[in-house]
Structure 1
Amino acid sequence: MPYSHLLAPLDLGHITLKNRVLMGSMHTGLEETGDWNRVAEFYATRARGGVGLMVTGGMAPNREGGVFPGAAGLFSEQDIENHRLVTDRVHQAGGRIAMQILHAGRYAYSKDCVSASAIKSPISPFAPRALDAEGIEVQISAIVTAAQRAQAAGYDGVEVMGSEGYFLNQFLVRHTNTRTDDWGGSYANRMRLPVEVVRRVRAAVGPHFLLIYRISLIDLVPDGSTWDEVVLLARAVEAAGASLLNTGIGWHEARVPTIATSVPRAAFSYLTARLRPEVSIPVITSNRINSPDVAEALLAEGAADMVSMARPFLADPDFVAKAAVGRADLIAPCIACNQACLDHTFSGKLTSCLVNPRACHETVLSYPPTLTPKRVAVVGAGPAGMMAALVAAQRGHQVVLFDRANALGGQLNLARRVPGKEEFDGLVDWFAASISAAKIDLRLGAAAKVADLRGFDEVVIATGVVPRDIALAGQERALSYSDVLRGAPVGRRVAVIGAGGIGFDVAEFLSAGPHLLAKDLAAWRREWGVGDPADVAGGLVQAQPEPAAREVWLLQRKAEKLGRHLGKTTGWIHRAALTMKGVKMIGGVSYLGIDAAGLRIEKDGVQEVLPVDTVVICAGQLPERGLSDQLSAAGIPHHVIGGADVAAELDAKRAIDQGARLAAGL
């Protein structure tokens, strides 16, 4: 059997899970919509796909514990009935589901937030109120009540959130707990709250109900937990009645990336492997595990009893089912970009997925079999064109996909060359495998002309973008971003014009050199200062970045912070990576020209010459609509999608979504 460890059942006493796959908790925003049929269908879709156990997004135990005002929870009998719609649907689909109880503590975006001590989080504008003993009892009781309500709503269990810097985690460490009473000071006192919560929850729900405790293995903040403290807590939580330990990595305020695409796969699973022999209950590993091969290897080597994957189930709800039949190549891969999931969540938008626009939209976006099959031509095998072709073919249309290049991928083939974006390789491979399986007539190396497109019922133009001409004196001396990413020779001192997403990518490509940190865990840990919590509390040490391959200037016209418009949850990572490489980031620049001396600029009324060998222009794109214009002139109706429609940045999320939605309506 393929993936024999991953697909093996897990006996938890009163319940047996059908495999070792956990869909980890994700806050999607669905519960806050009030459309409980939509919530139920999201989880039921994943249950039908074969996942062994799911954990919901964090449900607040009370109003002050919600991550934001209006955050969902189980506060009333009506809430219980709403959640029963979810659990009934999941159970009908053959699945199991636990509800996460998340008290945000000082991370709550509210003036009513509470914590161990009145120490404000760097990621929140509100200082928390330090709870007294009576206030602590109120919070414990609220968590216990939430667990009882989850049981009444039909959940198979609860997960108590004790990691990522949330409320229980805040009591554990000196970083946020400066108390001198029975809830602070010694570690025995600091761990009293999470242990008491687990003990009281177990007493309230009885023995035949899953109780998962999410434990932080490495906080990645100063004065975090030591490894001995982690082990002590794990044993105490087990003794208090936990069924499983799920592992959390890093606090939200930590300045070390933990789940972004540049983080090596399974980067923190060695800590789960270290914890597992210290307890007798199953231990779940997590973070940057996005393929059945990685998951299987972790289980086979004994690193964990179960594997948690969250975003991969946004990308493909049928992850387990495809692995079980030996078609892992058809699993739509999570590329850990965060663009449509976490970036949406932290912007107050409904979660979705760049790779799978149906994620969280299962009831509003569907790909039903067509009743009237058509001949469909798609021109352009970039993300928009490939998705349009794939959805159209899956619906039963006869599709021909043209591209002048000799390979699929379009601009994805540039993105995949950027250090830290190696996951784009898997995305291109998935498109290739899926297009082959869908029996699409693929014509590479074929620049479609008007004559080639006559006679089709539908024509879709997805011809992408071309670099924008900035009309700069001496620009014939410069290179475009596409030249550089395709391997054009570049000097040792480089100026990059344009600090959007492409400019940052090119600056990283040029400064990083050939050493791929995403493939070298030890080097990545040195780069970001990830130590061992057995040596230093919290596991945070001095970063020792690799020397920069080049001296790079990153420039923009706007007089504002560079990278301001990058991804909400990943922009800081890109800025930090370039800072570590000594990249000089300058805004408010006017470009005067390029000559043998370098790039002439003006800033704040002062002219200077940057003594660079190479200038790279990343100053935007324009839609490539030449073929569209020719079709219009010939009177041939057609659709325009992706960069050919809107060229702002290179937005694969918008392109894929647009391609899917167009094909869904053909």
Structure 2
Amino acid sequence: MNTTVSSTYARVLSPLKVGRHEMRNRIIMGSMHTKLECKPDPIAAQLAFYVERARGGVALIVTGGFSPNAEGVLDDQGPRLDDPEEAQALRPICDAVHHEGALICAQLLHAGRYAKIAGCVAPSPIRAPINRHIPREMTDSDILRTISQFAEAAANAQAAGFDGVEIMGSEGYLINEFTVTHTNKREDAWGGSAENRHRFPVEVVRAVRQRCGPDLLIIYRISAADLIEGGAPADEIAALARKVEAAGADIINTGIGWHEARVPTIAYPVPRGAWRKAAARVRAAVSIPVVASNRISTADMAEDILESGDADLISMARPMLADPFFVNKIREGRVDEINTCIACNQACLDYIFSGRTVSCLVNPRAGRESELRDTPAEVRKKIAVVGGGAAGMATAAEAARLGHAVMLFEATQALGGQLTLARAVPGKSEFDDTLRYFRRQMDKHGVELHLGQRATAEDLGGFDHVVVATGVSPRIPHLPGIDHPKVATYAEILSGARVAGKTVAIMGAGGIGFDVAEFLVTPAAEANGSEAFFDTWGVDGNFSAPGALKADPQAPVGGTRKVVMLQRKTSKPGDGLGVSTGWILRNALRKYGVEMLGGVSYERIDDEGLHIVIDDRRQVIAADTIVLCTGQESNRALHAVLVERGIPAAVVGGAKEAAELDALRAIDEGIRLAQSL
């Protein structure tokens, strides 16, 4: 490690003594649901996943949540730690992580009323909005038994080789449910006053410490901002933190928001570092180390948070999906090579919510460490990649990394393709890091770039293989007046080639339509500033109010334009958006007065505007600008010519299938194709 790196990231790279353990730096891989336990060989899958992150330099890994009993599982397949023999099966994971120099803690998570099972339990019988099951109210004996089961699960983890446990007391799970009046309506010793509501988490920590002794590292994850009505105020959070410390916790991690909260917490519309002051409040209350989490994705931000004293440690979950070697790259002075998490949620949370194994849009290897090889190709080939969008860059970078001689042709003067359009959308400037990463990888591995050159079949005859990644063009529907001057494509609007008027009709309400609407109505400050974000979503940026919500949140305000979104389908506009981000986009646009209409038939466009039929009634949308978000057409003519001439060729990304602007599929296809060459 050179002295420049050491000084720039001195806090991130500094060791820390915690309890009886030494952490080699200040970066923790935070817990996340992975569904790896559902793979055919779950131990091998988890081992490969966690070992790659340990090898990448993190100080400590926190696993996905294990329930302490049958009632607390997230679903029927949820993992548990109440069986000593099943816990012992995890020992190879612990041993392998230790071999790489990292610590590992098992998260103990009782889902409470979030458990998707008929027998779920909670402090009070109040159904969660995100669960169809009404929980059974826990009796006093249930509570005492559960406390004992937490301690037993921790002992099982300790016996299996885990260095510690993280007790999940945030995000609206069982322990968190006890701490706030929103879900705890009890009138016995476990409810009512803050002292009583805090009794359950304090007794859990105390029982774990008594059962496991001083060697076990205990992390307590506190809810630093519930973001729900009836949530905890700052003084109660601070008081709970002090009690947890006194009960035996070594570290306090901070969680933000319940899963049912109507405030986004980790998706790309949330500014990076938005929640750091919530962690700072907890840190001011205790003497043990405190962890900042959520939307911390860069080395510079991690260093700044630590240097400012807002936290002692940084938890990164999804950034470790994007780049397992995040810490090593800092240490080795290769920060520009970090593959940065863009907070899209598409292959992590959205996969989990649909019952799939976790992965990552910018790093398809995540969760598939045993599927995608990391060794050089046996035979070096000469590869041409035509197109410099997401699929083309991913193919070129991966093929070159594996040892092939790669030449990339891009018709324009800039790399990025559709990503350069997406990055114009508020919050999606995150794609700048993806572009930076692939450019750096191509440069590092010697990809020869030919920008401003539209490759023809004549240019491609001498290659062993050609990859056609020529992307898409906006689809132009057949409609009278479609060539009217007020009509623009989404590409023209997002690229800045055309400026929309004050009244806009958007034809198409898929992902691109929503992106365009957000681009048109969201003020620039909102796209980047935490204060504007807090104002829009009614968050108390001082994190002092109950639930960290403003008592009188800002009323919805109209945007800078009047925007109407239309679609032919009769379903609710936005139905096809991501599970974890769709509600954010719909709510954000409503705040700016965007109207959304379904079941529309388009008749024509003229000087009056867009003529439509809806509910058997004709009407005119008197728009200054009509934006076409009516799909894409694949640009694959080159592939047909190559095949005709017998030149080995494959097609990837939008050129292969023009469905939305799907960077997830494009990057995955590109990397898998490169591995198959």
Task: Sort the TM-score into its range (normalised by shorter chain).
Answer: over 0.9
In 2, Cα distance between the equivalents of 1:271 and 1:46?
Answer: 27
Is the contact made by 1:44 and 1:95 (CA closer than 8 Å) also made in structure 2? no
In 2, Cα distance between the equivalents of 1:546 and 1:359?
Answer: 41
> What displacement does 1:315 show?
0.4
Give the equivalent residue in structure 2 for 1:45. 52
- 1:488-538 deviation line (CA, Å, top 9, x unaligned): 12110000000110000001011114x242421111110110015765311
Give the equivalent residue in structure 2 for 1:491. 501
In 1, Cα distance between the equivalents of 2:674 and 2:261?
Answer: 41
In 2, Cα distance between the equivalents of 1:142 and 1:651?
Answer: 45
Is the contact made by 2:395 and 2:671 (CA closer than 8 Å) also made in structure 1? yes
Give the equivalent residue in structure 1 for 2:513. 503
In 1, Cα distance between the equivalents of 2:38 and 2:647?
Answer: 45
Q: How does 1:3-82 map to 2 (within 5 A)?
A: 3-33=9-39, 34-82=41-89
> What displacement does 1:466 show?
1.3
Give the equivalent residue in structure 1 for 2:399. 392
**Of the candidates 644, 650, 653, which is equivalent to residue 661 of structure 2?**
650
Pairing 1:519–2:519 present:
no
Kindly provide the amino acid, as one letter, of the partner of residue 339 in structure 2.
A
Give the equivalent residue in structure 2 for 1:580. 591
Kindly provide the amino acid, as one letter, of the partner of residue 520 in structure 1.
G
Is the contact made by 1:526 and 1:544 (CA closer than 8 Å) also made in structure 2? no
Kindly provide the amino acid, as one letter, of the partner of residue 437 in structure 2.
W
Q: How does 1:80-119 map to 2 (within 5 A)?
A: 80-119=87-126
In 1, Cα distance between the equivalents of 2:316 and 2:556?
Answer: 29
Kindly provide the amino acid, as one letter, of the partner of residue 13 in structure 2.
L
Kindly provide the amino acid, as one letter, of the partner of residue 99 in structure 1.
A
Give the equivalent residue in structure 2 for 1:589. 600
**Of the candidates 316, 321, 324, which is equivalent to residue 314 of structure 1?**
321
Q: Secondary structure, in 3 states, of the residue corresponding to 1:337?
A: coil
Q: How does 1:234-383 map to 2 (within 5 A)?
A: 234-383=241-390
- 1:268-305 deviation line (CA, Å, top 9, x unaligned): 10121222121110000011000101000111111110
> What displacement does 1:76 show?
2.3
In 1, Cα distance between the equivalents of 2:340 and 2:468?
Answer: 25
Kindly provide the amino acid, as one letter, of the partner of residue 522 in structure 2.
A
Q: Kindly tell me: are residues 139 and 536 of structure 1, through their superposed partners in 2, closer, same or farther at Cα, counting changes over 3 Å?
A: same
> What displacement does 1:635 show?
2.1
Pairing 1:539–2:548 present:
yes
Q: Which moved more, 1:366-375 or 1:530-539?
A: 530-539
Is the contact made by 2:531 and 2:541 (CA closer than 8 Å) also made in structure 1? no
> What displacement does 1:77 show?
3.5
In 1, Cα distance between the equivalents of 2:532 and 2:587?
Answer: 16
> What displacement does 1:443 show?
0.8
Pairing 1:616–2:627 present:
yes
> What displacement does 1:78 show?
3.4
Q: Kindly tell me: are residues 575 and 61 of structure 1, through their superposed partners in 2, closer, same or farther at Cα, counting changes over 3 Å?
A: same
Give the equivalent residue in structure 1 for 2:538. 529
Is the contact made by 1:463 and 1:624 (CA closer than 8 Å) also made in structure 2? yes
Q: Secondary structure, in 3 states, of the residue corresponding to 1:307?
A: strand
Is the contact made by 1:98 and 1:158 (CA closer than 8 Å) also made in structure 2? yes
Is the contact made by 1:246 and 1:284 (CA closer than 8 Å) also made in structure 2? yes
Is the contact made by 2:339 and 2:362 (CA closer than 8 Å) also made in structure 1? yes
Pairing 1:212–2:219 present:
yes
Is the contact made by 2:512 and 2:660 (CA closer than 8 Å) also made in structure 1? yes
Kindly provide the amino acid, as one letter, of the partner of residue 323 in structure 2.
D
**Of the candidates 644, 648, 656, which is equivalent to residue 637 of structure 1?**
648
Give the equivalent residue in structure 1 for 2:189. 182
> What displacement does 1:201 show?
0.5
Is the contact made by 2:218 and 2:250 (CA closer than 8 Å) also made in structure 1? yes
Q: Secondary structure, in 3 states, of the residue corresponding to 1:475?
A: coil
Q: Kindly tell me: are residues 43 and 549 of structure 1, through their superposed partners in 2, closer, same or farther at Cα, counting changes over 3 Å?
A: same
Give the equivalent residue in structure 1 for 2:572. 561
Kindly provide the amino acid, as one letter, of the partner of residue 33 in structure 2.
H
In 2, Cα distance between the equivalents of 1:526 and 1:422?
Answer: 21
Is the contact made by 1:375 and 1:457 (CA closer than 8 Å) also made in structure 2? yes
**Of the candidates 433, 437, 446, which is equivalent to residue 430 of structure 1?**
437
Is the contact made by 2:277 and 2:542 (CA closer than 8 Å) also made in structure 1? no
**Of the candidates 633, 637, 653, which is equivalent to residue 626 of structure 1?**
637
In 1, Cα distance between the equivalents of 2:636 and 2:655?
Answer: 6
Is the contact made by 1:353 and 1:359 (CA closer than 8 Å) also made in structure 2? yes
Kindly provide the amino acid, as one letter, of the partner of residue 530 in structure 1.
V
**Of the candidates 224, 233, 236, which is equivalent to residue 226 of structure 1?**
233
In 2, Cα distance between the equivalents of 1:535 and 1:323?
Answer: 35
Q: Secondary structure, in 3 states, of the residue corresponding to 1:56?
A: strand
- 1:427-475 deviation line (CA, Å, top 9, x unaligned): 1111111111111101111100101101100110000111122101111
In 1, Cα distance between the equivalents of 2:121 and 2:14?
Answer: 42
Q: Secondary structure, in 3 states, of the residue corresponding to 2:228?
A: coil
In 1, Cα distance between the equivalents of 2:555 and 2:312?
Answer: 34
User: Number of matched residues?
Assistant: 665
Pairing 1:603–2:614 present:
yes
Percentage of matched positions with identical amino acids: 51
Q: Which moved more, 1:383-392 or 1:531-540?
A: 531-540
**Of the candidates 414, 418, 421, which is equivalent to residue 421 of structure 2?**
414
Q: Which moved more, 1:430-439 or 1:554-563?
A: 430-439
Q: Which moved more, 1:408-417 or 1:77-86?
A: 77-86
- 1:397-456 deviation line (CA, Å, top 9, x unaligned): 000011001111110000000011111111111111111111110111110010110110
**Of the candidates 572, 581, 589, which is equivalent to residue 570 of structure 1?**
581
> What displacement does 1:543 show?
3.4
Is the contact made by 1:225 and 1:533 (CA closer than 8 Å) also made in structure 2? no
Is the contact made by 1:101 and 1:159 (CA closer than 8 Å) also made in structure 2? yes
Q: Which moved more, 1:337-346 or 1:628-637?
A: 628-637
Q: Secondary structure, in 3 states, of the residue corresponding to 1:422?
A: helix
- 1:205-259 deviation line (CA, Å, top 9, x unaligned): 1001100000001100001001000000000000000000000001000000010
Q: Kindly tell me: are residues 637 and 271 of structure 1, through their superposed partners in 2, closer, same or farther at Cα, counting changes over 3 Å?
A: same
Is the contact made by 1:63 and 1:69 (CA closer than 8 Å) also made in structure 2? no
Is the contact made by 2:106 and 2:165 (CA closer than 8 Å) also made in structure 1? yes
Is the contact made by 2:465 and 2:647 (CA closer than 8 Å) also made in structure 1? no
In 1, Cα distance between the equivalents of 2:449 and 2:201?
Answer: 57
Is the contact made by 1:268 and 1:287 (CA closer than 8 Å) also made in structure 2? yes
Is the contact made by 1:24 and 1:55 (CA closer than 8 Å) also made in structure 2? yes
Give the equivalent residue in structure 1 for 2:3. none
In 2, Cα distance between the equivalents of 1:236 and 1:535?
Answer: 19
In 2, Cα distance between the equivalents of 1:432 and 1:619?
Answer: 31
Q: Kindly tell me: are residues 365 and 535 of structure 1, through their superposed partners in 2, closer, same or farther at Cα, counting changes over 3 Å?
A: closer
Kindly provide the amino acid, as one letter, of the partner of residue 502 in structure 1.
I
Runs (5+) with no aligned partner, structure 1: none
In 2, Cα distance between the equivalents of 1:113 and 1:660?
Answer: 42
